[in-house]
Structure 1
Amino acid sequence: MCGRFIDPNLRGGETELSELKIDPFARRFNIKPTEEVLILGRRPEQARMARWWLVPSWHRGTLAEWKATTFNARIEDAATKPSFKGAWKYGRCLIPAGGYYEWTGTAGAKQPHVILPAGNAETLYFAGLCSLWQDLMTCTILTRAATPEVAAVHSRMPVILSPDEREDWLSGREGPDLGAGARLRHHPVARFGIRDDGPELIEPIEA
């Protein structure tokens, strides 16, 4: 799963914030479900902010009445799940990230780890689904079985797309191995709270 992640550093990268036609925002290192995140469509002009916790368009109650846990969706069965199947057909998107976190250990002594791009890449592109509920854009991050690089930290991981896979995903095509080639590195970081933020959150500590 993916329950916390990091804003991408889009300044100076392959996509500049100025190209996205959205207001600049301070980079966050501790994004939580229900917060606004950047999503990308097939062209940069389709970039927008969305609430990270998908609400399907057919939901007729209030936002508070939507109780299902839909900030992640399993890629293996999202196409057939009532909460996600509409977005699977019509709401594919990319969710850029600088990295994400997972925890190991037992309750009360959880050790956070940050998972970052390997090599020279600065940005990960998660496969996402978005859904317009009333006037609110919402989204979810798709997950898959973890690759060997991160399986020791968690059994699941976001579906992280290569450049070729990004276009395939947005075009409606997919394959059973989407995200299998993601190159990642990880290290333990200091424990942090729900309100903590800043680049110090990703600094390595001794395991």
Structure 2
Amino acid sequence: MCGRFVDPNLRGTDFEISQTRIDPMPRRYNIKPTQDVLVVTKHAPQGEMARWWLVPSWHKGELRDWKAATFNARIEDAATKPTFRGPWRYGRCLIPTAGYYEWTGEKGSKQPHFITGAGNEETLWFAGLASRWNGVLTCTIVTRPANATVADIHTRMPVILNAEERDAWMAGSDDPEIGAGVQLRHHPVAKFGAASDGPELIEPEAAA
């Protein structure tokens, strides 16, 4: 799964990758579900903000009435789930990030870990799905079974795409193995709360 992540480092006047230009924005280090996150869509290749907790376009009632936990979508079955099958066909998006967090250990003493790319790349690209509900753009992060680089931390991971896979994803790829080859690294970080923020959150935890 992916329940917390970090904004990408958008330095300078523009961030440019794969012909996508994104304006700089204040950086956050503890993004939570229901907050607005940056997404890249076919309609907005320069990036736009979306609420991270997908609400399908057919939902009736108020936003608060949508109770299902839809901040993640499993790549194995998203195409057939009623909530996700519309966005799967028409709402592909990319979510740029510097990395994400997972926790290990028992409840009450869980250890957070920061997970990022194993190479020199500063930005990871999550596969996402977007849905516009009553004029509000919402999104979810697509997940898959964890590969060997993070399986010791969690059984699942976001679908993280290289340049070729990003193009395929946006074109509608149904390959369940997309993103399987990403190489990641992780380190434990100091425990932090829901309201915590700042670059210190991703620093390796000092040895005892």
3-state secondary structure, aligned to 1:86: helix
Q: Structure 1: where are the runs of 5+ without partners? A: none
Match of 1:160 in 2: 160
Partner of 1:170: 170
Counting matched residue pairs gives: 204
Which amino acid is 2:172 matched to?
G
Asked if residue 112 in structure 1 is aligned to residue 112 in structure 2, the reply is yes
Aligned residue in 1 for 2:21: 19
Q: For residues 86 and 44 of structure 1, do their structure 2 counterparts lie closer, same or farther at Cα, with a shift above 3 Å needed?
A: closer
Structure 1 residues 26-41: aligned runs within 5 Å: 26-41=26-41
Q: Report if the CA contact (8 A) 1:39-1:96 is conserved.
A: yes
CA distance in 1, matches of 2:45, 2:179: 25
Which letter maps to 1:182?
Answer: V
Shift of 1:10: 2.3
Question: 8 Å contact 2:10–2:25 — kept in the other structure?
Answer: no
Cα distance in 2 for partners of 1:176, 1:129 equals 15
Task: Give the CA RMSD over aligned residues.
Answer: 1.8
In 1, are the aligned partners of 2:125 and 2:160 still within 8 Å (CA)?
yes
Say if 1:134 and 1:74 are closer, same or farther in 2 by CA, change over 3 A: same
**TM-score scaled by structure 1?**
0.94
1:197 is matched with which residue? 197
Give, in whole Å, the separation in 2 of the partners of 1:149 and 1:120: 16
Q: Distance in 1 between matches of 2:157 and 2:43?
A: 26
* AA partner of residue 123 (structure 1): T
Matched, 1:133 2:133: yes
Give 1:181 shift: 1.1
Q: What is the alpha-carbon distance in structure 1 between the residues aligned to residue 2 and residue 43 of structure 2?
A: 25
C-alpha deviation, 1:45, in angstroms: 3.7
User: Aligned AA for 2:9?
Assistant: N
Q: What CA deviation, in whole Å up to 9, does each residue of 1:10-54 have, x standing for no partner?
A: 225534xx933x5x4310000000000000024764521000000
- AA matched with 2:162: S
Moved segments of 4+, more than 3 Å: 12-15, 42-46
Identical columns (%): 64
TM-score by length of structure 2 reads: 0.93
8 A Cα contact 2:130 2:137, kept in partner: yes
Shift in alpha-carbon separation, 1:168–1:154, aligned structure 2, 3 A: same
Structure 1 position 179 matched with structure 2 position 179: yes
SS of equivalent residue, structure 1 residue 64: helix
User: Do 1:117 and 1:183's aligned partners in 2 also have CA atoms closer than 8 Å?
Assistant: yes
Q: Once the 2 structures are TM-superposed, how far is the Cα of residue 173 of structure 1 from its aligned partner?
A: 1.7
Conserved 8 A contact 2:117-2:124? yes
The offset of 1:118, in angstroms, is 1.4
Q: Distance in 2 between matches of 1:192 and 1:164?
A: 36
d(CA) in 2 for partners of 1:36, 1:176: 27
